Amino acid sequence: MTRMTNVPRATRGSWTAPDDPKLALVLSLADDELMIGHRHSHWTGVAPTLEEDLAFSSLAQDEIGHAAIWYGVAEELTGEDEDTLAFGRRPEEYRHAVLLEREPGDWAYTIVRQHAYDLYDHVRMSVLTESTDASINGVLGPIMREERLHRAHARAWLDRVADGPGDGMERIRAGARRMLAEVGGLFETLPWEEELVKVGILPVSSQGMFEPWRQALAEDYERFGLTDTLDAIDEAGGLGGRQGTHTEDFPPMWEEMTALYREHPGATW
Q: Residue 165, by phi and psi: left (phi above 0), alpha (psi -120 to 50) or beta?
A: beta
**Architecture of domain 21-263 in this structure:** Up-down Bundle (1.20)
Mark 236-258 as b/e (b = at least 16 C-beta within 10 Å).
Answer: ebbbbbbebebbeebbebbeebb
Q: Walk along the chain (269 residues) and give the pLDDT tens digit of each residue.
A: 433 434 444 444 466 777 899 999 999 999 999 999 999 999 999 988 898 989 999 999 999 999 999 999 999 999 999 999 999 999 999 999 999 999 988 999 999 999 999 999 999 999 999 999 999 999 999 999 999 999 999 999 999 888 877 788 999 999 999 999 999 999 999 999 999 999 999 999 999 999 999 999 999 999 999 999 999 999 999 999 999 999 999 999 999 999 999 898 777 76
Sign of CA dihedral 98, 65, 23, 255: positive
User: In the chain, which residue ranges form alpha helices assigned H by DSSP?
Assistant: 21-41, 50-78, 82-87, 107-128, 134-137, 140-162, 168-180, 193-198, 210-224, 250-263
